[in-house]
Amino acid sequence: MAKNKIAALLALIIGAMAIFAGGQVVFLGKVMDYHVINWLPIYNFSVGVLSFFVTSVLIWKDSAYAKMAAVATFGLHAAIMLILQTAYKGVVAPESIKAMTVRLTVWAIILVLLFLDSRSKKQSIA
């Protein structure tokens, strides 16, 4: 399987996980056993929807915008992690930090796969 297809599947899975987790809190009012920062489930759900319906499709179709969308998603998660670690230090639940760490790790893997895929395509052209 091509690296971009694996990357697309990872984006689809991590997006679905964010939709499910964020959606339970946002739409079903699920109460967690830890403190939830009120805007974080909305963020998670929204970026999950974008990852699932937009970014994963761009990556699967090998769109010229795929890498840009993946970098933007990783950058957005990194910025939110920075905010959580600074402005919300001592308030944010360890579970939220773990979830964001998983997202950052998966998106880093996606970016590596996309980089390797584009590199192998450039070498096959040359």
Write out the chain's pLDDT in tens, 126 residues. 799 999 999 999 999 999 999 999 999 988 888 888 999 999 999 999 999 999 999 999 999 999 999 999 999 999 999 999 999 999 999 999 999 999 999 999 999 999 999 888 777 775
Tokens of 102: 């998983």
- This prediction's pTM: 0.93
Residue with tokens 């499709």: 57
Q: Quick one: DSSP state of residue 52?
A: I
Q: Which pLDDT score is estimated for 126? A: 59
3-state secondary structure of 72: helix
Q: Which pLDDT score is estimated for 34? A: 85
